[in-house]
Structure 1
Amino acid sequence: MAEQSTDSNKLSAAAGRYTITAALPYTNGPLHIGHLAGVYIPADIYARYLRGIGKDVLFVCGSDEHGVAISMKAKKEGVSPSEIIDKYDDIIRRSFQEFGITFDNYSRTSREIHHKTSQEFFKKLYDQGDFIEETTAQLYDAEAEQFLADRFVIGTCPKCGNEEAYGDQCENCGSSLNATDLIDPKSTLSGAIPTLKETKHWFLPLNKYEDFLTEWILKGHKHDWKPNVYGQCKSWIDGGLEPRAVTRDLDWGIPVPVEGGEGKVLYVWFDAPIGYISSTKEWAAREGKDWEPYWKDKDTKLVHFIGKDNIVFHCIIFPCMLKAEGSYILPENVPANEFLNLEGNKLSTSKNWAVWLHEYLVEFPDMQDVLRYTLTANAPETKDNDFTWKDFQARNNNELVAVFGNFINRVVVLTNKYYDGIVPTPSEFSEIDLETLAALKKFPETIASSIDRYRFREAGQELMNLARLGNKYLADEEPWKVIKEDEARVQTIMFVALQIAASLAVLSEPFLPFTSEKLKNMLNITSATLSDRDSATLSDRSSEAERSRSLSWADVSSKDMLLSSGHQINKAELLFRKVEDYEIQAQLDKLEATKKTNENANAALMPQKDTITFDDFTKLDMRVGTIVQAEKMAKTKKLLVLKVDTGLDTRTIVSGIAESFTPEEVVGKKVTVLINLAPRALRGVDSEGMILMTENADGKLVFVNPDEDGVGNGEGIS
């Protein structure tokens, strides 16, 4: 066993070690397509690709369960923070699993290992004298009896004028803020205007690290970091850095582990990135491995996948923390993406303007790869991009179905039809055959070059170009016609086409993992990494036939033959299905309903009418009644003629509710009736009262009636 471990360590060192992190999602809501496009799909493509070429990869993430967002959600729903994090951790965790995100470990920041790791990290910096301890005046909500940090306060950004900036960050311009920086601040807890109150906190003096950051980022990563990331970092450093608080006055979070820290917790953006380290420790303990090389070995490459709103935390604050601690490596790259919009509007969890992953997985079963492909093809790598359902449909129908799926279906169906599923022996290769096979061998390097530079959109389109190569080759060579005249030529055509199909099965795995698995099953092949291929264990335990079925990324460019003559493939199955117009319309209708709900929620309420006296009010005679009969008034759209039992009598009332209710729906309804309203003729019918109505958030009319049983007709309302 010891000898095997040594071989494994040599292999890791030779292959290269990568620690890949993906931003910890807040457990205050489910995942949406913005999270996927910005962080998790590119991170998963990168991890799958590196594993495929034999690298030692650790891919970690976990639920971020501290911070103000959690507390606010709990207060809003009237439950404890623990209930909130358990609910959304479960939804997020299952969504990741069903969507095929291949984390080696997905942890939680509420776990003991994270609390211990974060407190030890803080304590080491504290003992080294790396913090500044200050008593400062902070915003305080006297009504809520709470200091207002981060999302508990909203106001105008002093840098861009956005009136909805938070106490820690402006999401409009990306500036990191302190709550006291806000203009006209207001508590999000009570709506009150806060006062200033003194409190003690610990600060990380970022200004002490300006020279380090200048050397490391502005000089060291000028040419290999994305322009949007480098530009934001440069703006921060050039503008001068200030000490940043690493503690908060909150009752939810990791307790500050030093004297004087009672009633305070670690700032979520101090403990959250440490979550990558604690997740690594958790993985290592489970797998029986040493965690430290993945964070402390200079030969390890650390890569953070994040959205642009997290650049300052991963490129400025966390590296300063790592530098201060002294034993950790720094990130090799932080390929942050811009934001994804939805149908022309900014994605919003609070406004329900999103495509939620857990809902997509139910509404489009077994279509994970379609969303992966669309979001990769439209990834906001250099600028904000827009997701539309029409584009989703077009990408699926015109590219995945018509190009990739069509090519594979033709190849597998024809191979089974002509040769009972056995790869034929080629005859002489034509010039076009040789050109096609030569072009095929270039794709692994082309795709790898794009992935290595974090250009996943470009890499995904190169994969589709490989499918186009196959589709065009078959369309030009027309084996279904040539078979009538030259069977030997068709054997060569199908042999070449099958090599393209096999290469697609291997190279599509990082982008379309579910499709890749289906295609491998159809072609009766398996995946292999370079490490598998070099491993003595594989050659000792596998038969020659099994090894011949095993293909790696490198094989596509190095082997002259991926599927050998005589190899048996399986029957065809559809890789993709068409997305129909009605499915897209259903999604658009759902978004339209959300938009209407938001408009109604934001609609200005009717201003208060003129003041009346109590005597005026007592003149109104309102009674409980029951609708006993209803019919539509002829030649009108809005009017129903109702018979209402008021307890005193049964009277006719004409009501403009026909667009919201059918006559059948209202019979038997308890209602509130103003019975002493002067009769009024409507379309020749005398209306002898008025039924009280209001509207719900969707703009639908709702009856105002008693919500308790046992209130009889004729009972007065006062």
Structure 2
Amino acid sequence: MNDPKKGYSYCMSKNILVSVAWPYASGSRHLGHIGGAYLPADIFARYNRMIGNNVIMVSGSDVHGTPITVRADDEGVEPIEIVNRYHAEFLSYWEKLNIQWDNYTTTMTDNHKEVTQEMFLKIKENGFIEKNKSIQAFDPKENKFLPDRYVEGECPKCNYLEARGDQCDSCGITLDPEELINPKSKINGNPAEFKETEHYFLKLSALNDKLADWLNTKKGWRPHVINFSKSFVDEGLQDRAITRDLDWGIEIPDNELGDGKKIYVWFEAVIGYLSASKEWAINNGTPEAWKDFWLDKNAESYYFVGKDNVPFHAIIWPAMLFAYGDLNLPTNVPANQYILIKGEKASASRGVGKTLNDYLDEWNPDSLRYSLASILPEQNDSEISEDEMIRRNNEELVAAWGNLVQRVFSQYINNFDDLDTTFEYEKIDEDLLEGAKNCFITTGEMIEKVELKSSLQNVMAYVNSINAYLNETEPWKVIKKDKKRASAILHCAITSIDACATMFTPFMPTTSKIVSDAIQKENQNSWGINEIKKGAPLKNIGHLFKKFD
């Protein structure tokens, strides 16, 4: 990381892959999605770019998930119409929220198809994919096999009544449809029958010991992630079908199963992290650059997902990487817990919580980013209410940070002609600046450990120390009798505000840039204290945030 005292990097830059969950292009997103994966990833990636690391942040819209065909059936349209509608909506989210992708794509590209099929064939060649027969849910009325998400029933582990045929949203366990109690077809609500069919299976059982040994090497993972993953593997992994009787999806290469089958989405979607990296490299005219992030053993990879995705990213995807060979395994899977609306998980499919567009119509994007970052569910489920978000906006952004910037800028601008640049700092000033240096160090360390909520609280605590400093030094009074001393206080305060703007940048990039650009500097440290030009005017930037009534 950078040395905030000197403003330069004191270690070699690293290659860091930031992989973010692929949202199904099947419906509008909500705050739970943003706080669960996309905002944390953006904060982490922005910080790592600021300290000089080589970063690519990739994701895309998952276009082959069965939620898409479920919605298409409900609306009586083709799946591609659903995909195009919601992919465009997602792109608008990222622009409004200032989520800084290096590549946001889809699983519908030729590149993704080729990478998926190549990975399938190599894993098969390596002996970890084989044909086998299984029973699959069947709807006799519709006379067709049912994809897993077309089946719902009672979870056999926690008795949640709306568990899906692939996973229970309540306890997080992965499932097969036949394990559900009283499974029913989502199409018509009739009881599902089960018939034998042939598919390709990923031989997870053959990778069990490798995964267990690898998980035992992981240090610093969030307890709920590592504990769940170890427990899951300790119970013994079962081979899992990676193809399904579907019309919508990627074709099986060298298909020996016959028509009417496709690669199943859970196998194909996680390959998107690799295909998106390759697409990024091609788009940038450096087609081999993806290897810096996937083959360099010193590179690091972080997977930002919600806790319902832990099995796929901490167990199944690493198993696929083991089976393929040579590619880097995850450095960390900092999965967040759920954001709860009145105690229930926010869910676009079940209509729990406002859509993201509802909030973007009402909120400053940086205010929304801050309010979410301040309650990120990193260790436990977090309940969110609009009242609490408004309180944080009004009391922390408007009253603490925004008011600090406004009153110091106003004091400086209003008394500009009386400022004396021959001042010297006193101990109280030096202590405040030493606090900024320490804040850079501790904030950076927290972000590197993906303790993002704590890192934001750390910066806000420093904001409060600046306010306390001003209340003690009272430059608005001192300026009337000692212009040199008042000049020192204001210069120190502006230096500290500039430092805060830098530290807030990963969290609130737009307003932080407004503050930083208004202050003239002798140097420009990307992560450290800057030397502010003495006697230089400040740009009047007005109010940064609006107060909600």
Query: Please, what TM-score do these two structures have when normalized by structure 1?
Result: 0.73
Aligned to 1:336: 335
Q: Secondary structure at the match of 2:133?
A: strand
Shift of 1:358: 2.1
5 Å-filtered alignment, 1:558-573, equals 562-573=531-542
Runs (5+) with no aligned partner, structure 1: 1-10, 526-547, 581-718
Aligned to 1:597: none
2:358 maps to amino acid: E
For each residue in 1:610-638, what CA deviation from the matched residue of structure 2 results, as whole angstroms up to 9, or x when unmatched?
Answer: xxxxxxxxxxxxxxxxxxxxxxxxxxxxx
Shift of 1:54: 0.4
Shift of 1:395: 0.3
**Does 2:505 match 1:509?**
yes
**Does 2:430 match 1:431?**
no
Distance, in Å, in 2 between the alignment partners of 1:462 and 1:381 is 16
Instruction: Determine which of 480, 492, 495 is the counterpart of 1:496.
Output: 492
Aligned to 1:544: none
Instruction: Determine which of 503, 525, 528 is the counterpart of 1:551.
Output: 525
Distance, in Å, in 1 between the alignment partners of 2:334 and 2:343 is 24
**Does 2:530 match 1:579?**
no
Shift of 1:140: 0.7
Shift of 1:551: 2.8
Runs (5+) with no aligned partner, structure 2: 1-8
5 Å-filtered alignment, 1:435-474, equals 435-474=431-470
Distance, in Å, in 2 between the alignment partners of 1:28 and 1:264 is 22
Shift of 1:164: 1.3
Instruction: Determine which of 404, 412, 415 is the counterpart of 1:415.
Output: 412
1:409 maps to amino acid: Q
Query: Highest CA radius of gyration, 1 or 2?
Result: 1
Aligned to 1:54: 52
- Whether the 8 Å contact between 1:423 and 1:569 is mirrored in structure 2 is no
- Whether the 8 Å contact between 1:206 and 1:320 is mirrored in structure 2 is yes
5 Å-filtered alignment, 1:181-220, equals 181-217=179-215, 219-220=216-217
For each residue in 1:375-418, what CA deviation from the matched residue of structure 2 results, as whole angstroms up to 9, or x when unmatched?
Answer: 11111111111111111111011111111011111111111111
- Whether the 8 Å contact between 1:21 and 1:60 is mirrored in structure 2 is yes
Distance, in Å, in 2 between the alignment partners of 1:183 and 1:356 is 32
Instruction: Determine which of 376, 393, 396 is the counterpart of 2:390.
Output: 393
5 Å-filtered alignment, 1:570-649, equals 570-580=539-549
Aligned to 1:534: none
**Does 2:169 match 1:171?**
yes
Q: Secondary structure at the match of 1:550?
A: coil
CA change 1:426–1:142 in 2 (3 A) is: farther
5 Å-filtered alignment, 1:146-295, equals 146-217=144-215, 219-221=216-218, 223-261=219-257, 262-289=259-286, 290=288, 291-295=290-294
Aligned to 2:5: none
- Whether the 8 Å contact between 2:124 and 2:130 is mirrored in structure 1 is no
Shift of 1:424: 5.2
Distance, in Å, in 1 between the alignment partners of 2:86 and 2:33 is 15
For each residue in 1:200-254, what CA deviation from the matched residue of structure 2 results, as whole angstroms up to 9, or x when unmatched?
Answer: 111111111121111110x201x31110000110110111111011111111111
**What's the Cα RMSD here?**
1.6
Aligned to 2:3: none
Q: Percent identity?
A: 39
Distance, in Å, in 1 between the alignment partners of 2:144 and 2:370 is 46
Q: Secondary structure at the match of 1:15?
A: coil
4+ aligned runs moved over 4 Å, structure 1: none
Aligned to 1:678: none
Q: Secondary structure at the match of 2:184?
A: strand
CA change 1:246–1:435 in 2 (3 A) is: same
Distance, in Å, in 1 between the alignment partners of 2:190 and 2:498 is 65
5 Å-filtered alignment, 1:478-497, equals 478-497=474-493
Distance, in Å, in 1 between the alignment partners of 2:190 and 2:120 is 34
Equivalent residues, number: 537
Distance, in Å, in 2 between the alignment partners of 1:225 and 1:55 is 21
Distance, in Å, in 2 between the alignment partners of 1:549 and 1:502 is 12
Distance, in Å, in 2 between the alignment partners of 1:488 and 1:123 is 74
CA change 1:128–1:286 in 2 (3 A) is: same
Distance, in Å, in 1 between the alignment partners of 2:80 and 2:315 is 31
Q: Secondary structure at the match of 2:352?
A: coil
Aligned to 2:141: 143
- Whether the 8 Å contact between 1:503 and 1:562 is mirrored in structure 2 is no
Distance, in Å, in 2 between the alignment partners of 1:174 and 1:38 is 15
CA change 1:148–1:503 in 2 (3 A) is: same
Aligned to 2:118: 120
Shift of 1:343: 3.5
Distance, in Å, in 2 between the alignment partners of 1:453 and 1:215 is 22
Q: Secondary structure at the match of 2:57?
A: strand
Aligned to 1:104: 102
- Whether the 8 Å contact between 1:424 and 1:495 is mirrored in structure 2 is no
- Whether the 8 Å contact between 2:419 and 2:484 is mirrored in structure 1 is no
Aligned to 2:402: 405
**Does 2:40 match 1:66?**
no
Shift of 1:425: 2.1
Distance, in Å, in 2 between the alignment partners of 1:136 and 1:304 is 31
For each residue in 1:23-54, what CA deviation from the matched residue of structure 2 results, as whole angstroms up to 9, or x when unmatched?
Answer: 00110112210011110111000000000000
For each residue in 1:555-607, what CA deviation from the matched residue of structure 2 results, as whole angstroms up to 9, or x when unmatched?
Answer: 32xxxx62131333211321111111xxxxxxxxxxxxxxxxxxxxxxxxxxx
For each residue in 1:338-377, what CA deviation from the matched residue of structure 2 results, as whole angstroms up to 9, or x when unmatched?
Answer: 000123333222342222222222223xx11111111111
CA change 1:288–1:167 in 2 (3 A) is: same
- Whether the 8 Å contact between 2:420 and 2:484 is mirrored in structure 1 is no
Distance, in Å, in 2 between the alignment partners of 1:418 and 1:337 is 48
Q: Comparing both chains, which one has the higher relative contact order based on Cα–Cα distances under 8 Å and sequence gaps of 6 or more? A: 2
Distance, in Å, in 2 between the alignment partners of 1:38 and 1:270 is 22
Q: Secondary structure at the match of 1:551?
A: coil
2:261 maps to amino acid: K
1:286 maps to amino acid: N
Query: Please, what TM-score do these two structures have when normalized by structure 2?
Result: 0.95
